[in-house]
């Protein structure tokens, strides 16, 4: 019996059986490793997709909740004088922190030719990080610049109302939203004589209108 067993183990058939078993186990191990790689890659892709989805949701929330500041002239009557009041209004949903604004109102003849690029806003008004809550306006003011200095004369008023001159008001405001992100708003207006109010100046160069 021992001789028969020794013969069988030593025979070529036994070697073939052992090799087949080894090949089968190698294939199983290779397939198992491949499955683990595929599962790992799938997990990484799923994690990346999840992170992108979370980031998109966070960005959407930031956009929805952030502050949006506009700045525009307050109620105004065209008459001789030296001052134009402005309103900074937070139309967003959270508080902003205003760092700086600049406002200017000037008489122009041939406005399309004389609005400089980049805009010359004059001296800055430093607000030193004043908070701006939603829907609560903050007032600043500028001079009314006529032909003879920082005021409109009776002659300037006649030029604007009857002779085709323009009264142009342009401005910008820099601020941080509640997430600490910096933003800037720029606007340009003209005094529409038939309507007795300032309206958006669509003839102004693109640099006069900007919201970030």
Q: List per-block mean pLDDT (blocks of 10 residues) for the chain, which spans 212 residues.
A: 53 59 72 77 74 59 83 97 98 96 93 80 90 96 95 97 96 96 97 97 94 95
CA 45 to centroid of chain Cα atoms: 29
Of 186, 92, 184, residue with least CA distance to 135: 92
User: Residue 8: its pLDDT value, please?
Assistant: 47
Which DSSP symbol is given to 193?
Answer: G
**What per-residue confidence (pLDDT) applies to 1?**
56
DSSP string of 123-152? S-EEEEEEEE-TT--EEEEEEEEBTTBSSB
C-alpha–C-alpha distance, residues 171 and 71, integer Å: 7
């Amino acid at each position: 019996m021992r001789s028969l067993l020794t013969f069988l183990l030593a025979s070529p058939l036994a070697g073939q059986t052992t090799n087949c078993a080894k090949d089968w186990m190698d294939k199983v191990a290779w397939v198992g490793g491949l499955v683990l790689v595929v599962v790992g890659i799938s997990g990484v892709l799923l994690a990346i997709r999840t992170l992108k989805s979370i980031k998109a949701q966070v960005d959407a929330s930031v956009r929805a909740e952030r502050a949006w500041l506009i700045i525009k002239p307050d109620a105004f009557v065209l008459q001789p004088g030296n001052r134009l009041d402005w309103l900074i209004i937070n139309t967003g949903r959270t508080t902003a922190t205003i760092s700086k604004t600049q406002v200017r109102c000037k008489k122009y003849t041939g406005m399309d030719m004389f609005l400089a690029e980049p805009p010359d806003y004059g001296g800055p008004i430093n607000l030193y990080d004043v908070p701006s809550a939603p829907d609560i306006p903050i007032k600043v003011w500028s001079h009314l610049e006529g032909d003879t200095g920082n005021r409109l004369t009776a002659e300037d008023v006649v030029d604007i109302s009857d002779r085709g001159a323009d009264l142009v008001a342009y401005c910008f405001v820099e601020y941080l939203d509640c997430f600490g992100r910096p933003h800037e708003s720029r606007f340009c207006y003209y005094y529409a004589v038939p309507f007795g109010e300032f309206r958006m100046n669509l003839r102004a160069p693109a640099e006069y209108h900007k919201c970030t």
